[in-house]
With several copies, the nearest count.
Chain A
Amino acid sequence: MNQQELIAMLGRISKIMEENRDYLIELDSVVGDSDLGLTMSDGFRSAYDSVSDGMEPDLGKLLYKAGKTMGNKVPSTMGTLMAAGLMRAGKVLKGKMELTDKDVVSLFQAYKDGVADLGKAKLGDKTFLDGFQPGIDRLAAGVNAGISLEMALQEAADAAWAGFENTTSMVAVHGRAATRGEASRSLRDPGAAVGALIMKAVAKR
């Protein structure tokens, strides 16, 4: 994956969040404060805009800058977590001008680590991670098994979406939804939807 492809990928994430703005508002209005559609579309748009000129050849620095911009633009729970994910991915990939398939796997694993370290959530806590990590795991497995990145990403996207759908089996323990306790179980987690949407946008190239 070269710089143009990485930037295009950020562009697709931005676009999918814009397309799903009302859907995310809808999901968040059930459990939270209705802002997720705004923060995700504004945030990923600003992340993309900050690097779309292609002036930054270091792909690590590029991701870090995108994250930093997003954090300043939309410092909500998910905005900050996504920023932390991008910045961590940037740190891990610092110095690279081109990404191998393994690097792409590292990118998403670092992204997940950045989110997990700041948010301190575990899998099954009904968060972003539950709609993201199933995708990452499948991606890593696919790449390790030697299938094409394209196909691995497509499988990852499907796994991520299944992960998101599966959040209806979990009780929220973080954020606004947590105050609902057991009553949160039947609801789909908005942050997990974002995780699944990211994987979907990444796969669709």
Chain B
Amino acid sequence: MKKLMNDPENYVNEMLEGIYLTHPDQLTFTGNDLRCLVTVTKTEGKVGIATGGGSGHLPLFLGYVGKGMLDGCCVGDVFQSPSADQMLEVTKKIDSGAGVLYIYGNYNGDIFNFDMAAEMADMEEGIRVEQVVAGEDVASPPAKDGGKNTRRGVAGIFFVYKCAGAAAASGKDLSQVKRIAEKAASNVRTIGVALTPCTVPRVGHPGFAIAEDEMEVGMGIHGEPGIRRGKMETADQITEEMVDKILKDISYEPGDETAVLVNGLGATPLDEQYIVARKVHQILKEKNIGIHRCYVGEYVTSIEMAGLSISLLKLDEELKGYLDAPADTPFFKQIKNGE
């Protein structure tokens, strides 16, 4: 492991200090706690949206706090949930009377702590809180009939933020913003492929090993095991397998429209991400599925893992409208067409 860092114990806090020094006009923190990020521009009467989760995924989570996206975010240590107290702190700061929506990934630690925070917000502060848990990794098992979602939340949460954020910015109320977030969450599917492991700074060695000529299809963003490990294949072959897995999981009719996210996990160059994006375009074109928007880049990483993920968001007119809305956060800017 070679990392540009000081004491691994300070990895997250020093990263956060760098963030605040670099983006003072967009981000600040609350409760005297660097890990409780909030936007500097609070809009009265707007539904607040908060997220949170472990560090090690930049620009997720905190990078999406800003105009048209999120209002606040708690981050924990690398791959660790922040605490319920921290989430409550952020909730208090971003509520402006219209209530707060939590959007976060489907992980035990996060669920436990967001649940506790929501209860405290209600009991102690009288703030109405709703929750949407995003889990869309088709490499993890789907819910047993009627049971709760058992899938890992990965890069697709970006689309949930984008749509919910735009809905809140447009003045929708809490139940509407929740409905739209749920619609995005239930229409997105993701699958990843990992080529190398990643190292939690405080652990100091990779979380798993993978041979020089191997890849793991379906690996999670913390190194959770995937569907199969095998010899490296061509980008086209891998992309076909991945898109195929997604399309087997959610039905698209010819003529349907989708948004694509090709997401680098950390060490894979943009070149390779575009080589994969090219193949995604070709496959979807062949199936007569329209691509309304395509995003390529690092949106949700796994520290310095090599590999990438593909997410598809099935669109209707409502989601398209929210997806197209402008946004301005430290890590994601979308300028409205024609502006």
Is the beta-carbon distance between B207 and A179 smaller than 8 angstroms? no
Chain B residues contacting A174 (CB-CB under 8 Å) are 108
A35 touches B83 (CB 8 A): no
Of B21-29, B217-225, B257-265, B310-318, the segment with at least 4 beta carbons within 8 Å of chain A is B217-225
Q: How far is the CA of A175 from the CA of B225 in the complex (A)?
A: 13
Q: How far is the CA of A81 from the CA of B111 in the complex (A)?
A: 12
Residue total for B at the interface (Cβ-Cβ under 8 A): 33
Cβ-based interface call for A156 (8 A): no
C-alpha gap A181/B141 in the complex (Å):
8
Cβ contact within 8 Å between A179 and B224: yes
- CB neighbours of A81 from chain B (8 A): 112
Residues of chain A in range 136-188 having any CB-CB distance to chain B below 8 Å = 174-176, 178-181, 183
Give the CA-CA distance A74 to B109 in the complex, in Å: 10
> Which candidate, A25-33, A52-60, A90-98, is the interface stretch facing chain B?
A25-33
CB of B152 within 8 A of chain A? yes
A71 touches B84 (CB 8 A): yes
Interface assignment of A34: CB less than 8 Å from any CB of chain B: yes
The one of B116, B200, B224 that contacts A35, using a Cβ cutoff of 8 Å: B200
- Say yes or no for B91: interface residue by CB 8 A criterion: no
Give bound CA distance, A181 to B223, whole Å: 16
A80 is contacted by which of B78, B112, B140, B220 (Cβ under 8 Å)? Answer: B112
B202 interface contact, C-beta 8 A: yes
B203 touches A179 (CB 8 A): no
Interface assignment of B208: CB less than 8 Å from any CB of chain A? yes
Q: Are A179 and B141 in contact (CB under 8 A)?
A: yes
Which one of B81, B140, B207 contacts A34 once the chains associate, using CB atoms below 8 Å?
B207
Supposing A75-B84, A80-B81, A179-B150 touch, asked if A35 and B112 sit within 8 A by C-beta, the answer is: no
Interface string of A21-50 (1 = CB under 8 A from B): 000010001001111011100000000000
How far is B152's CA from A35's CA once the two chains are assembled, in angstroms?
Answer: 17
Q: A85 an interface residue at 8 Å Cβ cutoff?
A: no
Q: Does residue A72 face the partner (Cβ distance < 8 Å to B)?
A: yes
Closest to B207 in A: A34
Closest to B144 in A: A173
User: B226 to nearest A CB, angstroms?
Assistant: 9
* B128 vs chain A, min Cβ distance (A): 23
Do A38 and B203 contact each other (CB < 8 Å), given the known contacts A33-B79, A77-B109, A77-B112? yes
- By Cβ-Cβ distance, the 5 closest A-B pairs, closest first, are A33-B222, A75-B83, A77-B108, A179-B140, A77-B109
Residues of A in contact with B (beta carbons under 8 Å apart): 25, 29, 32-35, 37-39, 71-77, 79-81, 84, 118-119, 174-176, 178-181, 183
Can you list 13 residue pairs at the A/B interface with Cβ under 8 Å? A29-B207, A33-B224, A71-B83, A72-B85, A74-B77, A80-B116, A84-B112, A174-B108, A176-B108, A179-B139, A179-B140, A179-B151, A181-B141
List 15 additional A-B contacts (Cβ < 8 Å) besides A75-B112, A179-B150, A179-B224: A29-B207, A29-B223, A33-B223, A35-B77, A35-B200, A37-B203, A71-B83, A75-B81, A75-B84, A76-B109, A79-B81, A80-B109, A176-B152, A179-B220, A180-B225
